Amino acid sequence: MEVGTAERPTALRRTIGRRVLVLFVVGDILGAGIYALTGKVAAEVGGMVWLPFVCAFVLATLTATAYAELVGRFPKAAGAALYAQRAFGRPFLTFVVAFAVMMSGVTSASAAARAFGGDYLAELVTVPTLVAAWGFLLAVTAVNLLGISESVRVNVVLTVVEATGLLVILAIGGWALLTGDGDPSRAFVLDTDGPAWMAVLGATALAFYALLGFEDSVNLAEECRAPRRDFPRALFGGLAVAGLIYVGVAFTSSMLVETDVLAGSTGPLLEVVKVAGLTVPPALFAVVALLAVSNTALINMLMASRLVYGMAQERIVPRVLGQVGRRQTPHVAIAFTVAVALTLVSTGDLAGLADTTVLLLLLVFATVNVSVLVLRRRPADADDDGGTADADDARARGYRAPTWAPVAGAVVSLVLASPLTSRDPAVYLRAGVLLAVGVVLYVVNRWALSRAGGPVGDASGA
């Protein structure tokens, strides 16, 4: 056995190249957001649906610069929690960041469940929305319980399906422009109830839900061949591809469908198919959309349950949440996350749950943007490359974001998280209750560990 292998028996294998990483970023972004929320965005800004998506893309890119720099300094699979711990060294703050990320996955899956029970499903069968949402979450949970390999296989298939559905919409839009169908001028009409800037700001916060997922790619950093070289290019390239697809889909939707119809639908892209010049069976597209929504929920519930499991293993939350079942899946953590999700779909609507997801992650993104500025004050030798360097770029400094980008990212994240967006107060209440659940788990766990005389988890390993 080689010495290096003996010293690092648990190191992850570096096999992921730039192209695979780009596909992962694109696949992680595409999903329920664009399929379900295009109409909700239209309700805020009228026909200019594409504008909030452009603004959301700019915000995502600003925050992506911070992630790209931090991955170069700390190519680990722990993401925002690791960055917060290295920057501030406050275990409780690190825990809150990790728990916020976890809960954002649960609220995102809950929003997807609400979308599943809407107009797309109604095209095939009539089922009460809440019943459909509950059944959907239980089905996703069943896949999650089967095991990670089975879940990943399902994810790959669903990613191909959801991308195909969006390409169909783009083809419909291209055909419409060639044949003179639709009304392109409608896509440039900004129609709001109040001040235009506030409406666009609120719609941007909602559209941002569709671009979430790029931040998950940092969890592959330890398995990239050359993270310092490949990750920034893959991250920005993947964001650009997803952003262009979204703007094209939003423009097509507004061009072909009356704004009132679009705004009133929970299956907005289905309305596009119904009026398309190309022959696409609405029922078939409804199936595609339902599978896309399913993929979003599966990815998020996988992420959330594994985060809970990881925190339990580090003794940050009660150890019972880290138990593993016969199929070697964290069944208690899965049960906990699905219980929260079932409660959320019973108490919130699609837009509210999506906005709660955005609010939680905006707070995380603000922390990440500030973290990169704090960490710049420390020497490079304080970085942690996991004991390895890029195979062919060992002396590279890695990507460095222009200072204004993380500054702007932090400011814009906090602005979009503020009441300036006219966000429903129920969203703040829901997010606060979810974070309070985490605080209770954290406090109870520390009390129990101190009573038992064991080591108290400090989240530093997050």
| Residues 124/283, Cβ–Cβ less than 8 Å | yes
Helix/strand/coil for 317: coil
Q: Which two tokens stand for residue 323?
A: 């138990």
Four-residue CA torsion sign, 200, 293, 99, 365: negative
Instruction: Write down the architecture of domain 15-452 according to CATH.
Output: Up-down Bundle (1.20)
Cβ burial of 394 (10 Å; 0-12, 13-18, 19+) is exposed
**Where along the chain do its domains lie?**
15-452
Let me know how many helices (H) and strands (E) the chain has, helices first.
Answer: 18, 0
Calpha distance 130→134 (Å, rounded): 6
Q: Which two tokens stand for residue 278?
A: 């190309």
| Residues 304/105, Cβ–Cβ less than 8 Å | yes
Which residue type, as a one-letter code, is found at position 388? T
Calpha distance 22→30 (Å, rounded): 12
Calpha distance 278→294 (Å, rounded): 26
Instruction: Reduce the secondary structure of 62-131 to three states and give it as a string.
Output: HHHHHHHHHHHHCCCCCCHHHHHHHHHCCHHHHHHHHHHHHHHHHHHHHHHHHHHCCHHHHCCCCCCHHH
Q: Which two tokens stand for residue 203?
A: 């719609």
**pLDDT, position 81:** 83
Give the count of beta carbons closer than 10 Å to the beta carbon of residue 7.
9
pLDDT single digits (tens) 156-183: 777 788 888 899 999 999 988 888 888 8
Helix/strand/coil for 16: strand
Q: What is the CA radius of gyration of the chain?
A: 22
Which residue type, as a one-letter code, is found at position 454? G
Calculate the dihedral angle through the C-alpha atoms of 114, 117, 118, 123, rounding to the nearest 10 degrees. 160
Can you name the residues that pair with 46 across neighbouring β-strands?
190
Give the count of beta carbons closer than 10 Å to the beta carbon of residue 251.
23
* Rama region for 386: left / alpha / beta (φ>0; ψ in -120 to 50; rest): left
Calpha distance 305→312 (Å, rounded): 11
Q: Which two tokens stand for residue 355?
A: 């906005």
Terminal Cα-to-Cα distance of the chain (whole angstroms): 30
**pLDDT, position 431:** 93
**pLDDT, position 449:** 75
Q: Which residues of the chain have pLDDT under 70?
A: 1-18, 77-78, 147-153, 155, 219-224, 277, 327, 379-397, 452-462
**pLDDT, position 455:** 55
Question: How much is the pTM?
Answer: 0.84
List CB contacts of 94: < 8 A, sequence separation 6 or more: 81, 84, 85, 88, 459, 460, 462
Q: What percent of the chain has pLDDT over 90?
A: 26
Cβ burial of 110 (10 Å; 0-12, 13-18, 19+) is buried
pLDDT single digits (tens) 74-108: 877 567 888 888 899 888 898 899 889 889 989 99
Distances (CA, A) of 79 to 171, 302, 384: 36, 16, 13
List CB contacts of 72: < 8 A, sequence separation 6 or more: 227, 228, 231, 232, 397, 398, 399
**pLDDT, position 8:** 39
| Residues 145/331, Cβ–Cβ less than 8 Å | yes
Q: Which two tokens stand for residue 282?
A: 């609405």
**pLDDT, position 62:** 94
